Structure 1
């Protein structure tokens, strides 16, 4: 062993202990772990808009949002989708709007810099549909330039070629309330009253409020939209009131007792906007619960106030358990027992929207958040099962029954292509991403390699089984998804490093010999994109530019993912990439801070590829600890 390797081994126990102690120190007394889920500033900006529209802004510390937004503005004048992206137009327009609503004048130096950035990139007319919709709510853009969403869509039957259940869960929970909003086309008075005329590059008097043409067959959707708008102008929208009533009922039925809708801020904000359009009073219990749910996503410091897009306690807890056990903590440690029992109590035993297309499955899954009974997901469920499997609880029979229910549910969610999606079964009508309203390209939830790999890993690591034919279909799906370079796409984490790590962990458990070639190709790709500092990193830009696969500055979480995949493959094939692994471990040891933590500025989580990214603040803690623990178990 080289001198560098001996240094690695000598530092390992202290590094693991420090990391474990940090994780244990931040566990909630109730048993769960929960860290910030960071996104871009649009979520907070839209919450400011919501409270201005409801007139509830003075009862919240929104004055602190100004300091938060100022702190996030970059030297170029704009605001970012992800760290270091050079600024993004729609994000910057929404931040500017929020600052104006908070009373910051256009003459403020920060606003002057922001305006120059925005105008250079085309101004409001070049922003995404949802940014324009938020502008339209307060008269800063015309509803004429917003795609029509006819309310009769709510009435389309489940067996029709299209209905609301062909939308992804997140698109569905956000779109149904917008059927009401877009029908009413409100222009709310806010205080202070603002216009954003200064953000139109062509001049406010020259704006063409129209949907952009693509010059291909998708322009047919523009013709349809013109027809919908004509029907609206002539008051000839069929089944309009019936559709509004159905959307209203759907919204009320899906509000959690805690006030949440869909567990995500866009669904919550849009539902509250719909209720405002229906003339609900701010003191109505439904509205009060909804606004409180939004408050619960907020993080307030002495000087700032920001809002998370979602909260992730179930996900965070499951990964923290796995990290602690993988790094040597006893499975019956009191902290792990509390966490395991908390997870058991979060299993969802209600039918949700998934049951519309999945008529065979029975409840038994987990969701991402504290409460989200309508939208459990496959990824969370698989990770929770693996977490529960490695802890020893006082009532093991109860745990095993919960795991069995979860596996049965997951098996029932397998898609026709052989893989698994996140929330729904066969939610894959890709044409929906081409409609003008769908410019975020996130209208569907198709099966993906990373979620499929998680299911296969769950089956292998927990010694569970599903129907042999369906298992083979899943393996074949993963093989078809392998890229020519040897890597796999990562839908929910950035990006090919994430996907490749997950698939290697899965295939190495269940098919080490039969799929050795695919495994070795994945290993070769990972080794080939290791950085000179020993770490791994990948920019979010790889979603838009595949030539950037596996390229980016090193981060703790992405380095750990690569190591986890390489070590799994090495165990399976008895052919370890020793040098790459040692360099990666040394990178983690060298970058660990004195309190046992790691820090990274980069966003390594994905909401919508190309459009919305996330920074899970526990990723940089849990995954490095898993990697260090697995390394010690294999090599010490």
Structure 2
């Protein structure tokens, strides 16, 4: 990847060209900017009442979809020829494909794009592939890619299964009372791992058309490749020895309970397929489960197979020239935030658009027991999930945001609304982790040793409590005047104190990065006895002020996950500027003291960069899937977060007199 300085140079030029176009028109007044933003957002509401925008990530999931269809022989049934145009569009000048906007190219992402183009019939001597090969070799070639990339190559004979870790089927048979079960893995890791138990046991090599190899992508030469798992040079290397034992047991057919384990994995897959055809509402388990069905010789017309492919189709976006696949879909998340943005910016609580959205959200409440109940023996279901349907995996973050959204509007059946809120809050209470915080999907999903297993080289095998999710729950409790036990609340506050960095910031697990985390915690502390947290709030404020850019905005590069010295540093973006402003405004209201100059410069940045349509442009990825490994560009982040910031500024300016007369 590029260095941070190179990234700044390459992205600044693009950003300045975009913002020059934006500032050719005079900035609207604050009132007019809010109205334009509201109208834009209202125009995008679906007739059913929800909002939903693209969730953009890197190209790997699209490449893996091509691989999946080739393996099943269903590639002619979808417009996969349009993937070639999409991949060519996404290739960068250096020859590679990026993990996130502006990184200059990443090796595993680039190898998967190269593989997909070859699967689509692009010859090795195509100029785009020549450039890609040079880039990949400069980064060390296939041998330096992640485990999942090597796994995908092994499926078509372009890498040896010798270099892929084993997953013993007998892990499916551990009772829930055992120290480790699959439920100690994060929900996303669990949903991905169970089908791979079947695939890794069989170690298939599928014949695809066209036939090719990728020998040209081995920097050391194909004859010199060492198909071995990389060492971490720490205690985790003990798993490399265990993997050799597992592989030997496979070779001599002495894997205990192999048949029962594989049968349990198949049953689990079938039981966890949603009525919408997907698994977990995310693409990796969908791809892996369909691969497992292929290994198990399911017919292509089998109902489970067909529903799985139809689910992938619903995650796909086809345009005139291109075809791409999203990692997930986010209608509940987008709808809840759109509702909050519109209410925060002054739309009447009983506006018909908000009523439609509120009714839709109520229908999406998860009222069935999911995987979370394996470790949570006392909670009753009542949360919300991220997607249209995901009955196994409601999450704390979505649930808290939905509660705040519903609390801010007025529905015809207020009693039903309040009962839904109360049920959700009770569920959230029972999901608190022993450390005092909340995780995304599970309780006490924190066995960190799992991140050291060779298969888990993305370091995302667990779902521990985090400051940003915990802050969302605390903000929900305080801003909605809800009741939870004082013991639980104090544990949560103490957890947030503990998680504050020495410089005053908080880490952001699900958004990039410290700006996201710090803003969220400030908003939480501001609504729960803020005078008790004044030192923590002031430190957070000072950190946000310290990283404001000269143009008045805020920005943070995804590389801050790799290097904490880059925290709070990056090209200004609309969403990150909004996060900083929201935190500063909420904290200022709590302490009755506003950093007026910084806030006004931030508001001016948003006003000056708003487009004629009433939204903002943002190419940067500001959402996080897995820190250091997977990032997301939520296409609505650049809209509803700035609207929240402008709305809160307008509300507070009249109350506290912080408004600049020029705005």
- How high is the TM-score relative to the length of structure 2? 0.94
Q: Does 1:196 align with 2:218?
A: no
Q: Tell me, what secondary structure is at the counterpart of 2:624? A: strand
Q: Does 1:603 align with 2:641?
A: no
> In structure 2, do the counterparts of structure 1 residues 148 and 619 end up closer, same or farther at CA, with 3 Å as the change threshold?
same
Q: CA separation in 2, counterparts of 1:616 and 1:401?
A: 31
Q: CA separation in 1, counterparts of 2:212 and 2:514?
A: 44
* Alignment of structure 1 residues 437-448 onto 2, 5 Å: 437-448=455-466
Q: Report if the CA contact (8 A) 1:174-1:267 is conserved.
A: yes
Q: Does 1:114 align with 2:132?
A: yes
Q: Does 1:588 align with 2:595?
A: no
Q: Tell me, what secondary structure is at the counterpart of 1:92? A: helix
CA displacement at 1:431 relative to structure 2: 0.7
* Alignment of structure 1 residues 302-381 onto 2, 5 Å: 302-381=320-399
Q: Tell me, what secondary structure is at the counterpart of 2:625? A: strand
Q: Does 1:389 align with 2:407?
A: yes
Q: Does 1:162 align with 2:173?
A: no
* Alignment of structure 1 residues 417-436 onto 2, 5 Å: 417-436=435-454
Q: Tell me, what secondary structure is at the counterpart of 1:607? A: strand
Q: Tell me, what secondary structure is at the counterpart of 2:29? A: helix
**Equivalent position of 2:89 in the other structure:** 71
Match of 2:269 among 251, 266, 286: 251
Q: Does 1:209 align with 2:227?
A: yes
> In structure 2, do the counterparts of structure 1 residues 8 and 574 end up closer, same or farther at CA, with 3 Å as the change threshold?
farther
CA displacement at 1:465 relative to structure 2: 1.5
Q: CA separation in 1, counterparts of 2:109 and 2:570?
A: 23
Q: CA separation in 2, counterparts of 1:321 and 1:171?
A: 31
Residues 114-138 of structure 1 show CA distances to partners (whole Å, capped at 9, x for unaligned) of 0000001110100000000000001
Q: CA separation in 2, counterparts of 1:389 and 1:515?
A: 25
CA displacement at 1:206 relative to structure 2: 1.2
* Alignment of structure 1 residues 544-555 onto 2, 5 Å: 544-555=562-573
Residues 34-75 of structure 1 show CA distances to partners (whole Å, capped at 9, x for unaligned) of 000000000100000000001111000000000000000000
Q: CA separation in 1, counterparts of 2:511 and 2:492?
A: 20
Residues 249-285 of structure 1 show CA distances to partners (whole Å, capped at 9, x for unaligned) of 0000000111011100001000110011000011111
Match of 1:261 among 253, 257, 279: 279
The two structures, once aligned, show a CA RMSD in angstroms of: 1.0
**Equivalent position of 1:458 in the other structure:** 476
Q: Report if the CA contact (8 A) 2:27-2:608 is conserved.
A: no
Q: CA separation in 1, counterparts of 2:412 and 2:532?
A: 39
Q: Does 1:449 align with 2:467?
A: yes
CA displacement at 1:212 relative to structure 2: 1.1
Q: CA separation in 2, counterparts of 1:366 and 1:569?
A: 28
Q: CA separation in 2, counterparts of 1:8 and 1:236?
A: 74
**Equivalent position of 1:4 in the other structure:** none
Match of 2:635 among 610, 613, 617: 617
Match of 1:62 among 62, 67, 80: 80
* Alignment of structure 1 residues 458-497 onto 2, 5 Å: 458-497=476-515
Q: Report if the CA contact (8 A) 1:8-1:585 is conserved.
A: no
CA displacement at 1:21 relative to structure 2: 0.5
Match of 2:427 among 405, 409, 413: 409
Q: Tell me, what secondary structure is at the counterpart of 1:514? A: helix
**Equivalent position of 2:3 in the other structure:** none
**Equivalent position of 1:139 in the other structure:** 157
Q: Does 1:103 align with 2:121?
A: yes
Q: CA separation in 2, counterparts of 1:124 and 1:151?
A: 28
**Could you list the runs of 5+ residues in structure 1 that have no partner in the other structure?**
1-6
Q: CA separation in 1, counterparts of 2:304 and 2:490?
A: 47
> In structure 2, do the counterparts of structure 1 residues 9 and 468 end up closer, same or farther at CA, with 3 Å as the change threshold?
farther
Q: CA separation in 1, counterparts of 2:231 and 2:509?
A: 28
Match of 1:528 among 516, 528, 546: 546
Q: Tell me, what secondary structure is at the counterpart of 2:530? A: coil
**Equivalent position of 2:190 in the other structure:** 172
Q: Report if the CA contact (8 A) 1:606-1:614 is conserved.
A: yes
**Could you list the runs of 5+ residues in structure 2 that have no partner in the other structure?**
1-24, 655-663
CA displacement at 1:215 relative to structure 2: 2.8
CA displacement at 1:10 relative to structure 2: 7.0
Q: CA separation in 2, counterparts of 1:194 and 1:349?
A: 49
Residues 79-101 of structure 1 show CA distances to partners (whole Å, capped at 9, x for unaligned) of 00000012100000000000000
Q: Report if the CA contact (8 A) 1:8-1:586 is conserved.
A: no
**Equivalent position of 1:44 in the other structure:** 62
Residues 1-32 of structure 1 show CA distances to partners (whole Å, capped at 9, x for unaligned) of xxxxxx99971011001100010001000000
Match of 1:565 among 558, 565, 583: 583
Q: CA separation in 2, counterparts of 1:217 and 1:492?
A: 28
> In structure 2, do the counterparts of structure 1 residues 10 and 98 end up closer, same or farther at CA, with 3 Å as the change threshold?
closer
Q: Does 1:400 align with 2:413?
A: no
> In structure 2, do the counterparts of structure 1 residues 200 and 628 end up closer, same or farther at CA, with 3 Å as the change threshold?
same
> In structure 2, do the counterparts of structure 1 residues 10 and 368 end up closer, same or farther at CA, with 3 Å as the change threshold?
closer
CA displacement at 1:194 relative to structure 2: 1.8
Q: Tell me, what secondary structure is at the counterpart of 2:423? A: helix
Q: CA separation in 1, counterparts of 2:203 and 2:395?
A: 34
**Equivalent position of 2:144 in the other structure:** 126
Q: Tell me, what secondary structure is at the counterpart of 2:32? A: helix
Q: Report if the CA contact (8 A) 1:297-1:307 is conserved.
A: yes
| Higher mean C-alpha deviation, range 284-293 or range 188-197 | 188-197
Q: Does 1:53 align with 2:71?
A: yes
Q: CA separation in 1, counterparts of 2:561 and 2:237?
A: 25
CA displacement at 1:217 relative to structure 2: 2.1
Q: CA separation in 2, counterparts of 1:214 and 1:620?
A: 38
Q: CA separation in 2, counterparts of 1:194 and 1:210?
A: 23
- How high is the TM-score relative to the length of structure 1? 0.98
CA displacement at 1:291 relative to structure 2: 0.2
